[in-house]
Chains A and B, each alone.
Chain A
Amino acid sequence: KQEVTQIPAALSVPEGENLVLNCSFTDSAIYNLQWFRQDPGKGLTSLLLIQSSQREQTSGRLNASLDKSSGRSTLYIAASQPGDSATYLCAVRVRGSGTYKYIFGTGTRLKVLA
């Protein structure tokens, strides 16, 4: 059974610091991996999606990498800002019971201190 883990559960960093968020999954048979941002009381906003054949994706100050063989993905945030404070979730797309589904991690709650 696929499990997705995000460690740490919470992280506080000073403004301007570069940081890495981790996502690990137990079964390497994934079709893609998606990183989301969730602000308190809000829905999920897609940040980056990496197909299983890709190694990384970049958007602005964000860079996501994928290593299927080791079951890991990282989200790198450069020059962090207080506006980056949110919970970051990763999800993997897998095949199961005749259809595809998404398995989510529990998230890393990030606080960037001004």
Chain B
Amino acid sequence: NAGVTQTPKFRVLKTGQSMTLLCAQDMNHEYMYWYRQDPGMGLRLIHYSVGEGTTAKGEVPDGYNVSRLKKQNFLLGLESAAPSQTSVYFCASRKDFGQATYEQYFGPGTRLTVT
């Protein structure tokens, strides 16, 4: 049981380039989240998904897109990277509301630098 995994761990992009971050979980969780963590600002929610085939905007969705084609995977895309998107990105998942205590499980993070 690997929990929540993220690929890649590190990436450097030039302004305007695109990339996709992959999050995978093997806990059969319904809910998945993408956060970004910046110094002095805490984690902020980018997008989230309440189940396969569904996505919704979080607090800071601009410049990002997501897809949840399979229950175990949640992809975060940057179509045209900007320096303001330099951050550490975390994926999280949790069980459905009918099953447990809403505890979130986090991946190890992806450190992205946009130059």
Please report A residues at the B interface, Cβ cutoff 8 Å: 4, 31-32, 34, 36, 41-46, 49, 51, 89, 91, 93, 99-107
Contacts and interface: CB of A to CB of B under 8 A. Distances in A.
27 contacts: A4-B42, A32-B101, A34-B104, A36-B106, A41-B111, A42-B108, A43-B106, A43-B107, A43-B109, A44-B90, A44-B106, A46-B106, A49-B101, A49-B102, A51-B101, A93-B102, A99-B50, A99-B56, A101-B45, A101-B58, A102-B104, A103-B42, A104-B35, A104-B43, A105-B42, A106-B41, A107-B42
Interface of B: 4, 33, 35, 40-45, 48, 50, 56, 58-59, 90, 92, 101-109, 111
A42 B109 contact: yes
Contact of A46 (B59, B103, B108): B103
A49 B95 CA distance: 14
A74 B65 CA distance: 36
A46 B104 contact: yes
B63 to A, nearest CB: 19
A-B pairs, 10 with minimum CB distance? A104-B42, A44-B106, A43-B106, A104-B43, A43-B108, A106-B42, A49-B103, A43-B109, A43-B107, A46-B103
A4 B44 CA distance: 12
Contacts of B43: 44, 89, 91, 102, 104
B67 to A, nearest CB: 19
